[in-house]
Amino acid sequence: MKISCEEASNICNRSQYKEAGSWELFKLRVHILMCRTCAKFTKQNTMLTSLCDRANLNTLSESDKESMRKDLKKHL
């Protein structure tokens, strides 16, 4: 059941987007009990996600992104 720090960070990132399963979250919790580095990463990642949610950040639609790509290609 032991996971690497790399796997822990991947699970942490997926959990921020509600993509991690309950078994993965359990493994992450066990790992961060023993690893201060990953515990700090998880705390900071959670805080960053919370700040982004509160900031009501908006992203471009796919069509807007494609339009920008075309404009950039014209200017290059």
Tens of pLDDT along 22-40?
999 999 999 999 999 999 9
Radius of gyration of the chain (CA): 18
Is this model's pTM higher than 0.85 or not? Answer: no
3-state secondary structure of 53: helix
| Count of domains observed in the chain | 1
For the chain, how far is it from start to end, CA to CA, in angstroms? Answer: 51
The pLDDT mean for the chain works out to 92
Give residue 41's domain range. Answer: 5-75
Residue type for position 58:
N
Distance CA 69, CA 67 (A): 5
